[in-house]
Structure 1
Amino acid sequence: MSSSTSRRSSSDPNSDSDSKLPLRPIPGGYGLPFFGAIADRFDFFYNQGREKFFKSRIQKHKSTVFRTNMPPGPFTASDPKVVAVLDAVSFAVLFDNSKVEKRDVFTGTYMPSTDFTGGYRICAYLDPSEQKHRQIKSFLFWMLSSRHGQVIPLLRSYLSELFLKLEDQVADKGEANYNSISDNELFNFAFRFYCGKDPTETNLGSSGAKLFELWTYPQLAPLGSAGLPWYFFPINVVEDFLLRTVPFPAWLLKFAHKKLYHAIYSSALEPLDEAARFGLTREEACNNILFVLGFNSYGGFKIIAPTLLKWVGLAGAPLHQRLAQEIRAAVKSEGGVTPNALSKMPLAKSVVWETLRIEPPVPFQYGKAKSDIVVESHDAAFKVKKGEMLFGFQPVVTKDSRVFEKAEEFVGDRFVGEEGEKLLKYVYWSNGRETEDPTVENKQCPGKDLVVLVLRVLLVELFLRYDTFEIELGTPTLGPSVKVKKLTKATTTS
């Protein structure tokens, strides 16, 4: 049984209770026109920081549902006004396609130019009601399923390189930059998985990962910050002006898109040949592969792989010992790292889910109310008008103390056992519940199961090689920065 149990509220719509909640006006507001949005933006980026921004307003309004402004707006001509839904119950409305529309809200209250993606609105920006969403997502499902059997052996070969490079750096310098090594090897894995070639065999050479980052970052620039504190006010004003006054001109990075596009177009021959069967041109299919490969897969791995190492490293030797024993026993009993072996590792699975709960790789979720609706929190109900933007910040939602005990702590075995697994429906990292599957009718990440599998295999490879390890955290950028200080090689394999 897991060491952490549920604290389900009677207002949880998934409970057996049929309680009626009091209807309450949505507290909060947007301040003065133009200036209110600027004030909230400076609190969000510079004066308070993201989590304090939301937690202070929850405390002020005594409500997890309230009105506020969200970046970037107003300079980018996007409307920054949102209704925040910041508990495990109210947040779930963002997955109800009968109530919210997901058209052009992937990055929030603004949308980058389609010039970044060859002039196409790719799948992430489409609403499930759009026929094109069904076509593209079906195509992506076919790609993932046709390659599913390749994941474990292919990933293990790149992870072997990853750990060899870590060992060499630790031996030579006394520490290793995990992020840079992991980024390179997981990018190579992702490109090979989707396109059938190592990127070094294409026009990308060894620069593929950096080129994808160069193409990706400007699309997210209005949501970024150097993270300088409030007393660097003049610098922060300049940064805010540069990042959020006008959209980054996509034509400046046309060369990056062109190079990435041609690398995929000349490599992913089988998927592009199949595209017509799903009603897609080769060009549209190629741009969607480019986005899924670079933005979703590599971009996700770049954040979540160091996050996994961070939390497991901070947990220390007691958890490491338990993981090593479980992993080695399962691999020995099955004669290798196989799907059956992975299924016999409940603690390893729980550690991956706990990582995705405590520090989800995609913090923001948005949806626009399709009609006048009522949104329920644990304690009250709120009327939301048609057209209003709903917003959720997952790092607060998935640390809801009404659902999770020790919600702010990393509990490795939280999801072990029958009671622990009941909590998985409150793990929302994939734009849906962990207990549900992505379909063409929803916006849940089509690669949800691939991400979980990659993290589980990463954990397995780590503890097949090492009994324990030590880390040091650096300044976070996109996700945590992790330095490996010590690797203690395995003394036993069973």
Structure 2
Amino acid sequence: MASSDTSNSKLPLKPIPGSYGLPFFGPLSDRHDYFYHQGSDKFFSERIRKYNSTVIRTNMPPGPFISSNPRVIALLDGVSFQILLDNAKVEKRDVLDGTFMPTTSFFGGYRPCAFQDTTEPSHALLKRFYLNLLASKHDSFLPLFRNNLAEHFTDLEDKLAGRSAKASFNTSVGSASFNFLFRLLTGKDPTETKIGSDGPSLVTTWLAAQLAPLATLGLPWIFNYAEDFLIRTFTFPAWTVKSSYKKLYDGFASAGSSLLDEAERAGIQRDEACHNLVFMLGFNAHGGLVNQFPILMKWVGLSGEGLHKELAEEIRRVVKEENGVSLRALDRMILTKSAVYEALRIEPAVPFQYAKAREDLVVESHDAAYEIKKGEMIFGYQPFATKDPKIFERPEEFVAHRFVGHDGERLLNHVCWSNGRETEEPTPDNKQCPAQNLVVLMCRLYLVEFFLRYDTFTFEFKPVVLGPDVTIKSLTKASSY
């Protein structure tokens, strides 16, 4: 709950603890703690302990060089985090990546919809176009994604049968995701365009140049200062990835000409629409799914054969009763739905949320209220919000049944991976991901297709900048498949 009227709050009003330190040196020290000395979780947990508060002042990367103002008010619990979802209270203009914004040269000179605030007229125009586009493809989701998954599973099995006897899950599912999204939006295969089979690598190259200041390469500690200086003193210029982006743009412009016709009829300039659709495909959709599927399989895999058996039994029973895989069948798979929501809760693919206060306001945590001034940058660390022990029992554990039943469904109000509550829908007037329902559907369908084919699997993973890097070591085929 958030309010601009302190008289409505029964909680004590306290000053926000924490420190920004000396100019230049404070942000630099916090940045090195965050990337090299503590890591993100320890960085925040140590400050919660130090200040005895889940609302604190701190600096966030990449400042002090690239960011003109790295100072934020960090919200580190599930209650205070909710203010970031209230578009009447906070502004989200140019804060998608945090305290800095890449040059618009990465996006053809336009500010994509994701960087725009809800008060900007073009935001609603573009968001409505996205939502109408996805709605028009509704009947294509299941058959198209199932076909792409069949190619993906064949690829995994071929790799496992090869010399190395293991398969990169991320690479395989990344190709399947990109191909699905491109085919869904344009009706054509990317190999029919200039993109060819390079779609995932083109997107990765383009994203890496934009987001480099927020990453670390995991080099030995002796190289920390050199890495920090190289990637956080200046942003990478867009010309370094111009050829990769141009292939994506040209491929979409040719294959998606009918979509661009629709955009023009909706009042959007053709060139702007194409750059926005490339951003949605590359950054929002593909970039998110390349993280989300490995996260899903990591946690389902760590849960072991017991959960695999439960999922397989539910999925196969419902598919048999419904005579196939359909939206109705997916909706009946209660455990499968819950397991997907639990993966979205325990490890959100996008862990950060940023916004600026539209007005002087009061934000409440579980035990205190704090004043935030108009224009101050607010930061939410979503993994702490969705693992708040005062909201979720056993918050650090993957509990596949967590969202089953009436009480479980009520907890969905605190699952916010999509820049909105899971109990709400994306609209032209909010900042919730337009593909929210599609992502959840794709994750559920992935589990369905997987456990129709396989009884269980073994894997290994290692943490990387964007989610876990998963390697499949074995797949145990279902005897009836």
Q: Secondary structure at 1:83's aligned position in 2? A: strand
The corresponding residue for 1:145 is 135
Structure 2 unaligned spans of 5+: none
Equivalent residues, number = 476
The corresponding residue for 1:209 is 200
The corresponding residue for 1:225 is 216
What do the CA deviations read for 1:430-458 (whole angstroms, capped 9, x no partner)?
00100011111110100101110110110
> How far off its partner does 1:46 sit?
0.3
| Residue identity opposite 1:422 in structure 2 | R
| Residue identity opposite 1:63 in structure 2 | S
The corresponding residue for 2:116 is 126
The corresponding residue for 1:312 is 300
Question: What is the percentage of aligned positions where both structures have the same residue?
Answer: 56
2:381 is matched with which residue: 375, 390, 393? 393
The corresponding residue for 2:405 is 417
The corresponding residue for 1:179 is 170
Q: Secondary structure at 1:348's aligned position in 2? A: helix
What do the CA deviations read for 1:403-453 (whole angstroms, capped 9, x no partner)?
000000000110011110010000010001000111111101001011101
Instruction: Note the 1:389-468 alignment, pairs <5 A.
Output: 389-468=377-456
Indicate conservation of the 8 Å contact 1:138/1:278, yes or no. no
> How far off its partner does 1:228 sit?
4.1
Instruction: Note the 1:69-84 alignment, pairs <5 A.
Output: 69-84=59-74
Task: Give the whole-Å Cα distance in 2 for the aligned partners of 1:265 and 1:244.
Answer: 33
Q: Secondary structure at 1:174's aligned position in 2? A: coil
TM-score by length of 2: 0.97
1:271 is matched with which residue: 259, 267, 280? 259
| Residue identity opposite 1:35 in structure 2 | F
The corresponding residue for 2:90 is 100
Task: Give the whole-Å Cα distance in 2 for the aligned partners of 1:262 and 1:176.
Answer: 32
Task: Give the whole-Å Cα distance in 1 for the aligned partners of 2:188 and 2:45.
Answer: 46
Indicate conservation of the 8 Å contact 2:2/2:362, yes or no. no
Residue 198 (structure 1) aligned with residue 186 (structure 2)? no
The corresponding residue for 1:293 is 281
> How far off its partner does 1:270 sit?
1.9
2:148 is matched with which residue: 154, 158, 161? 158
Structure 1 unaligned spans of 5+: 1-10
Indicate conservation of the 8 Å contact 1:99/1:369, yes or no. yes
Task: Give the whole-Å Cα distance in 1 for the aligned partners of 2:229 and 2:464.
Answer: 23
> How far off its partner does 1:149 sit?
1.1
Task: Give the whole-Å Cα distance in 1 for the aligned partners of 2:29 and 2:177.
Answer: 39
2:103 is matched with which residue: 107, 113, 116? 113
> How far off its partner does 1:371 sit?
1.0
Residue 242 (structure 1) aligned with residue 237 (structure 2)? no
RMSD between superposed Cα atoms in Å: 1.3
> How far off its partner does 1:476 sit?
2.4
> How far off its partner does 1:170 sit?
1.5
What do the CA deviations read for 1:140-168 (whole angstroms, capped 9, x no partner)?
01110011110110000010011111112
Task: Give the whole-Å Cα distance in 2 for the aligned partners of 1:209 and 1:458.
Answer: 19
The corresponding residue for 2:33 is 43
Indicate conservation of the 8 Å contact 1:45/1:227, yes or no. no
Task: Give the whole-Å Cα distance in 2 for the aligned partners of 1:69 and 1:477.
Answer: 20
| Residue identity opposite 2:190 in structure 1 | P
Task: Give the whole-Å Cα distance in 2 for the aligned partners of 1:78 and 1:179.
Answer: 35
> How far off its partner does 1:227 sit?
2.8
- Provide closer, same or farther for how the CA distance between residues 368 and 330 of structure 1 changes in structure 2, counting only shifts above 3 A: same
Indicate conservation of the 8 Å contact 1:471/1:486, yes or no. yes
Indicate conservation of the 8 Å contact 2:2/2:83, yes or no. no
Task: Give the whole-Å Cα distance in 1 for the aligned partners of 2:65 and 2:194.
Answer: 38
> How far off its partner does 1:477 sit?
3.6
Indicate conservation of the 8 Å contact 1:324/1:463, yes or no. yes
Task: Give the whole-Å Cα distance in 1 for the aligned partners of 2:68 and 2:450.
Answer: 44
The corresponding residue for 1:302 is 290
What do the CA deviations read for 1:173-207 (whole angstroms, capped 9, x no partner)?
32211111111111111111112111111111111
Structure 1 ranges of 4+ moved more than 3 A: none
TM-score by length of 1: 0.94
Task: Give the whole-Å Cα distance in 1 for the aligned partners of 2:9 and 2:34.
Answer: 35
Q: Secondary structure at 1:141's aligned position in 2? A: helix
Task: Give the whole-Å Cα distance in 1 for the aligned partners of 2:398 and 2:31.
Answer: 30
Instruction: Note the 1:469-488 alignment, pairs <5 A.
Output: 469-488=457-476
Q: Secondary structure at 1:28's aligned position in 2? A: coil
> How far off its partner does 1:491 sit?
2.5
> How far off its partner does 1:57 sit?
0.5
- Provide closer, same or farther for how the CA distance between residues 31 and 318 of structure 1 changes in structure 2, counting only shifts above 3 A: same
Task: Give the whole-Å Cα distance in 1 for the aligned partners of 2:349 and 2:288.
Answer: 6
> How far off its partner does 1:77 sit?
4.0
> How far off its partner does 1:169 sit?
1.5
| Residue identity opposite 1:119 in structure 2 | G
Indicate conservation of the 8 Å contact 1:359/1:395, yes or no. yes
2:78 is matched with which residue: 67, 72, 88? 88
